[in-house]
Chains A and B, each alone.
Chain A
């Protein structure tokens, strides 16, 4: 049984159907990237998995548990097991770095403070911000903020990490430091679903790549297949366009 199984997922946004019958299996420790033109539903898929958008039908199973998106209380289960990092970092501006990372485990999960803090310290150490614990988000660069956001997501010990265009808002010279963290996570065996426009990175880090267009999955394959020998014309057009830049 795959770690994450998405079966026939449909979603709408303001009466517009944005996801059509999405089926995708992700094995444990797999890194799967979603690519495709803007508006193709990649981010929507991540936001639907984590329950920001409500699916209209379909089934999602994560670590042998079927997720229920129907009510606020059942959504908790989905959010207990996965975490998302957004394009705009979305850090809490009124909290320090360590505050951002510890708030959810402390106040929502009510885990032991000593344990939570120790874990948070090691995570921030890992993303290279062990010296910025007391800094506020507006005192950090975009790349640093995004690394804090990754640490915040990991603090909940998720079984699945969703990354939604996490380098798109960064200055080019800051992209590398964030991607390095993700490479490290991939090596450590974190299961990840990634939406990214960094094609070089996608190719290097992904076990499989999913091409999406107009809310549908067009093609799934290894990076070599998708980038070097795509079967579908839409995939070929898209990769030719993005790789020519």
Chain B
């Protein structure tokens, strides 16, 4: 039996789906920045912290990078209410992704800290720079440049990873697609369209991140080779 595509059934829901796409971006954005800030503290601790603090952070990173995000969010969503903490599905998913990203981003930023070359610090010191000037003119720009490409990729990954919210009833792009598909049963058309929207989002994101990277941090790669 031949399948007859009816894309009209998907396209009439486009505004609704785009609203979901916006929520996907929002989740990715919060998870990214929350994870970056938490991860920065984690990275700093991993490089400069005491032995005790280092092993605590290392334990955190090991736990969160070796268990599925789905499981982590399940825990937040179903176990925390037992302790009297009720989270909306949106909060549980976003929080879960923040905690999960923090682990990965701590590792990425740690590599950035380690990439600062002692030789450049020697030069800065002998030119007469103070600690603060070294931080501002040498260390931070260096870290930013080193970690920019992996951070960009991670953001893209989060845009796609936000679809995990659908499992918990968050009405982001995938969640909304499921809503429509279960009512009109045009699953194939809807998910083809949704796939297209994801591609447009990630292409736009990597293109703009690539442009920023090229002009601000002089990094090449990705779509802009």
Contacts and interface: CB of A to CB of B under 8 A. Distances in A.
Interface residues of A, number: 26
Interface in B121-145: 122-130, 133, 137-138, 141-142, 145
B128 A80 contact: yes
A225 to B, nearest CB: 32
How many residues of B sit at the interface, in one of the four size bands? 10 to 19
Given A93-B142, A94-B145, A136-B218, A104 B119 contact: no
Contacts of B142: 93-94
Contacts of B123: 86, 90-92, 149
Contacts of B138: 92, 94
Interface string B138-160: 10011001000000000000000
B133 A107 contact: yes
Nearest to A72: B130
A93 B125 CA distance: 16
Contact of A84 (B117, B126, B129, B218): B126
A76 B218 CA distance: 33
A20 interface: no
Contacts, number: 58
Contacts of A76: 128
A156 interface: yes
B119 to A, nearest CB: 4
A76 B129 CA distance: 9
B127 A94 contact: no
Contacts of A83: 126-127
A103 interface: yes
Contacts of A223: none
A50 interface: yes
Nearest to B138: A92
Nearest to A103: B137
Interface string B150-181: 00000000000000000000000000000000
Interface of A: 50-52, 72, 76, 79-80, 83-84, 86, 88, 90-95, 103-104, 107-109, 136, 149, 152, 156
10 closest cross-chain pairs (CB), A and B = A90-B123, A94-B141, A104-B127, A79-B128, A90-B119, A108-B128, A88-B119, A50-B126, A84-B126, A90-B120
Given A92-B123, A95-B137, A104-B128, 10 more contacts: A72-B130, A84-B126, A88-B119, A92-B138, A94-B142, A94-B218, A103-B127, A103-B137, A107-B133, A108-B133
21 contacts: A52-B122, A52-B125, A72-B130, A80-B128, A90-B120, A92-B123, A92-B124, A92-B137, A93-B117, A93-B142, A94-B142, A95-B137, A103-B127, A104-B127, A107-B129, A107-B133, A107-B137, A108-B133, A136-B218, A152-B127, A156-B127
